Amino acid sequence: MKRIEKKALARRGIDGLAAYVPGKPVEEAIREYGLKEMIRLASNENPLGTSPKALEAMKQALDDAYLYPEGSSTELRRKVAATFGIEADMVIFGNGADNILLMIAQAFIDEDDEVIVGDPTFSVYETVTRIMGGRVVKVPLRDFTYDLSAIVRKITPQTKLIFVCNPNNPTGSLVTEKEVAQFMDQVPAHCVVVFDEAYAEFVQERNYPQTIRYIHHQKNVLMVRTLSKIFGLAGVRIGYALGPQKLINVLCKVAEPFPVNRVAQAGGLAALDDGEFVKRVLEVNEEGKHYLYEQFSQLGMSYVPSHTNFVFVHLGMDGKLAFQKLWEKGIVIRPGDIWNLPEFSRITIGTAEQNEKLVKALAMIKKENAS
Amino acid sequence: MKRIEKKALARRGIDGLAAYVPGKPVEEAIREYGLKEMIRLASNENPLGTSPKALEAMKQALDDAYLYPEGSSTELRRKVAATFGIEADMVIFGNGADNILLMIAQAFIDEDDEVIVGDPTFSVYETVTRIMGGRVVKVPLRDFTYDLSAIVRKITPQTKLIFVCNPNNPTGSLVTEKEVAQFMDQVPAHCVVVFDEAYAEFVQERNYPQTIRYIHHQKNVLMVRTLSKIFGLAGVRIGYALGPQKLINVLCKVAEPFPVNRVAQAGGLAALDDGEFVKRVLEVNEEGKHYLYEQFSQLGMSYVPSHTNFVFVHLGMDGKLAFQKLWEKGIVIRPGDIWNLPEFSRITIGTAEQNEKLVKALAMIKKENAS
């Protein structure tokens, strides 16, 4: 008997992981402080709601809620493939981009493989790596931006995955076409580069890399996208990855039989045709961004220029304190302590009205804090 | 450089897995054979559709489709916990029971761990085991029923999980309270027993085991349930597991941040209160079952008495041929070749009208086949 009964039941390494701790429910604050509503600027949700075309399609889809969804999201894969000029078998859909990231870890990370990520960046890369027993190698950002040259220097024979969050969450910065080209020239063939482009649709910068070209050239590249943000579908869970067949095939092997629910598939298909909504979302976002830039400056708060629907701002006071004071006033933001930048916050760009309320509240808090 | 570039990118063992192959879309048959509709008796979906209470709640939930769902399905966990007389932290929800099964594999199966399953049984146990590099040990059914004594004899120091599908899919048979009690007395403490009770709500048998008692006693037991079948929610994906905190905590560590979409959470909450719908579903199912028993007998086809919403029937002809002929007539069933029982089929119990059409078609096919 090699195995003794004291051996932990959980897989090696799982015990060391922290379980996901849910945030304070917004509903509690509404009750506690007698608020009319809570302005949600913490999770980069779409302030204009959901694409109306998607909403209509989802209502219809409920008629078939008792039937299993189509397992491989065939229509969606065909549609996305056509947009990017690739084949449908170079696309895979999942239960949100989080599910895609977990599938990537399951498909590629052997125990003790190294996985390189920026720091700070989206925390799910670390979680999924540790679930699979991989080792996370964190490379600090430079000027709040992914430092691709530093990442190249950290590549070893054990490196399996490199997550490039572009634009980066939580800082909103991006790496350019040229930087990515130089980077890709130096990444060896035993590594898979995952470009997480959850916010790509918000980018107005011309030098934003067209990572699809590496996929056309059969490089070890996966591009991850989501319909949560630009189309306002966070609540129904739908995201996808593009890549060469050799990589997408591996992801298919670890996919659940029915990862994407029927409502999300119908909503996603309709959303992809809702160019009008996207246009409106981008207008509101750009206006809001420039308004916030101006107001933050007037308040003496510096910020990282953003290519997304959020701004990473240096509040110049404890982020948790600011969080609490805004919370009491009916506004929720994401304080920076989770990224070890306690004086920063990540704030979603809202509607004009929401942004004004935020600025007013921040000004008041700043005044209170100074006195 | 220990790792050489020729090493496969995929994790060890993943290459050997088959990717999920989607079934023939029903829509194609409808077009191909000019059918009005397809009677779906292949996937054990609810022939009465979705719980009306759930449907109403889901329509409402679409208003918030742009907001992330609550990550840990708190209200649902509380509700289910109250039903079973346990704490909310002894419940975890997932993107359908398939997602729960994958989480169980991720949480507990180290490479080369052994996992015992019946044969034939639900195929996902094998898939998720192999994804995690575990070894599947198949124990043949006895009289189409899980053979728990034979399973006990297959337990080794390497055994980590035992999947007991009860009632069993595809045979519809069950193991009794007494059999499970004897079994549990013999399972050593280094194994986790997973009772997959996806069809529990259809069981009318008094000796069906109350596995919750093992959870009350902090045994290494997980009970898996789904809202897909009895409530007609297969399309929105929602399932759950119950277990002692020590096991549920481990599952929480491998859970995605937002596994269950907003629509499914709202639908699930409302469905759990829809006792009226459940009553109607069970009436239709029992009536249909006895009608099918009678008709199968008249057609000279033997069947396994079922505790579910499907019947495993010996057609006495090639199942794939029967499948094709029914398909052309607008009825889809599940042929038995995937379980190496080619003369059998798993047929979902439909509405009275659907069952009559099925029987008529089967009689015709049998006649054609004999001539």
Instruction: Give the residue, B147 or B316, on which the prediction is more confident.
Output: B147
**Under an 8 A CB cutoff, do A22 and B71 touch?**
yes
B124·A257 Cβ contact <8 A? yes
Fold match between B12-40+276-370 and B52-271? no
Average pLDDT over residues A344-353: 98
Listed residue (B112, B321, B115, B307) closest to B209, CA to CA:
B307
**Average pLDDT in the A63-67 region?**
98
Mean pLDDT, rounded, for B268-297: 98
The pLDDT value recorded for residue A32 is 81
Domain borders along chain A are 12-40+276-370, 52-271
On chain A, the residues whose CB falls within 8 A of the CB of B104 are none
Report the greatest alpha carbon distance in chain B: 71
Give the type of residue at B316: G
* φ and ψ of A311, to 5 deg: -130, 135
* Closest alpha carbon to B98 in A79, A296, A69, A6: A69
Query: How far A281 CA lies from chain B's nearest CA (Å)?
Result: 13
DSSP SS3 for A248: helix
Of residues A111, A253, A256, nearest to B99 (C-beta): A256
Paired residues of A240 in beta bridges: A93, A225
For B17, the closest chain A residue by CA position comes to A253
Distance, in Å, from the CA atom of B113 to the CA atom of B274, rounded to the nearest integer, reads: 41
Query: For the segment A262-281, what is each residue's pLDDT rounded down to a tens digit?
Result: 999 999 999 999 999 999 99
Q: What's the gap in Å between the CA of B201 and the closest CA on chain A? A: 16
**Does B66 contact A74 at a Cβ distance shorter than 8 Å?**
no
Residues of chain B contacting residue A49, judged by C-beta atoms under 8 Å apart: 65-66
Topology of the domain covering B52-271: Aspartate Aminotransferase; domain 2 (3.40.640)
**Distance (Å) from the alpha carbon of A89 to chain B's nearest alpha carbon:** 12
Reported as half-sphere exposure (CB side, CA atoms, 13 A), residue B280 has a value of 14
Q: How far is A52 from chain B (nearest CA, A)?
A: 11
**Nearest CB partner across the interface for A234, out of B9, B68, B74:** B68
Q: How confident is the model at residue A3 (pLDDT cuts 50, 70, 90)?
A: very low
Under the banding of pLDDT at 50, 70 and 90, the label for residue B29 is confident
Q: Do A20 and B262 touch (CB under 8 A)?
A: no
Q: What is the Cα–Cα distance from A84 to A68, expressed in whole angstroms? A: 28
H helix runs in chain B, sequence order: 26-32, 52-61, 74-84, 97-108, 124-131, 148-154, 177-186, 212-216, 245-254, 262-271, 275-298, 319-328, 352-370
At B177 the pLDDT is 98
CA dihedral A296, A300, A303, A305 (to 10 degrees): 70
- Whether residue A218 has pLDDT greater than 70: yes
Nearest CB to A190; choose among B5, B257, B258: B5
What is the fold, at CATH topology level, of the domain defined by B12-40+276-370? Answer: Aspartate Aminotransferase, domain 1 (3.90.1150)
Q: Give tens-digit pLDDT for A111-139.
A: 999 999 999 999 999 999 999 999 999 99
In 3D, which of B357, B346, B52 has the Cα closest to residue B199?
B346
pLDDT of residue A21: 63
**Chain B positions in Cβ-Cβ contact with residue A72 (cut-off 8 Å):** 20, 22
Which residues in chain B are contacts of A46 at CB distance < 8 A?
66
Q: Is pLDDT of B20 > 70? A: no
